[in-house]
Amino acid sequence: MVELYFFQPLGSNSGRVFLALLEKGVAFTERELNGRAFEHLRPEYLAVNSRGQVPTLIHDGRIFTEGTAICEYIDDAFEGPPLRPRDPRERWSMRRWCRFIDSDLGRSLMMIHWNRIVPAFVGSRTREEVERILCGVPDPDRRRAWRRAYLQETPPAELEESQRRVAAASQRIEAALAGSPWIVGTRYSLADIDLFNFYAFVAEWSPQIVNDRLTPHTLAWIGRMRERPAVRELRARTRVPPSPAAAST
């Protein structure tokens, strides 16, 4: 039995694991958590994942966390088309891209994204209510980042540096895709799954960075990704979750 705990809308960490399961054709039970209601901080979920983060995969009773590692596990554990290159050098390149997406590009995008959405995310809760919620975030770095985003206290210089890193990453991605259809050569891989879920929205959110003039190969790659049956299914199943008020009615 396979279960997946995840957030809607399907993107970043939740989206990449969801997509990896779809690409492999794995049947799984969906355990959606309402992030706006902070269900991931409730005791019943913390008993599953003590860090209070998503996604979490459960396979035959064994718990797996951390998106990158989960995706590699899915590729190893289940039948279906391989999602990693067989060539050792290409596999190294795939892992290098996945690490870059996690540690550099992803962190920069999350800082920008959180500062845009967290105030609306917490809704009309009072400052005291928000502080009680934040005190329940197990990871101190994430707790601090959420608090700064909620109070809009992230230093402008840090936001500017994140924007610079995203722009630099965009050129690196464009250079890689200029010479091949996928991020690692001629074979679709977990690197494409990661990049799509963390980065494809940048064309809409920051068109000054990703556009026809600066990144034509990247836009063509996004088009190829959207043609894949599993990606079409992912997008069809992606929706905006209800607000806390709606969830309680």
Task: Report the pLDDT averaged over residues 188-202.
Answer: 96
- Domain range for 11: 2-83+236-247
What CATH number corresponds to the domain at position 23?
3.40.30.10
Distances (CA, A) of 217 to 15, 44, 85, 107, 139: 23, 45, 22, 24, 37
Residue 171 falls inside a structural domain = no
- The band of 22, judged by pLDDT with boundaries at 50, 70 and 90, is very high
Q: What is the pLDDT of residue 123?
A: 84
Look at residue 181 and tell me if it is in a domain. Answer: no
In a domain, 33, yes or no: yes
Residue 13 lies in a domain: yes
Confidence grade of residue 165 (pLDDT, cut at 50, 70, 90): very high
- pLDDT one-digit tens code per residue, 115-151: 888 887 788 899 999 999 999 999 999 899 889 999 9
Q: Domain total for the chain?
A: 1
Average pLDDT over residues 229-241: 90
Question: Considering the domain boundaries, does residue 61 fall inside one?
Answer: yes
pLDDT (tens digit per residue) in 196-226: 999 999 999 899 999 999 999 999 999 999 9
User: Model confidence over 100-123: pLDDT tens digits?
Assistant: 999 999 999 999 988 888 887 788
72: in domain: yes
Summarised one tens digit per residue, pLDDT across range 35-48 is 889 999 999 999 99
Asked if residue 121 belongs to a domain, the reply is no
Q: Is residue 92 part of a domain?
A: no
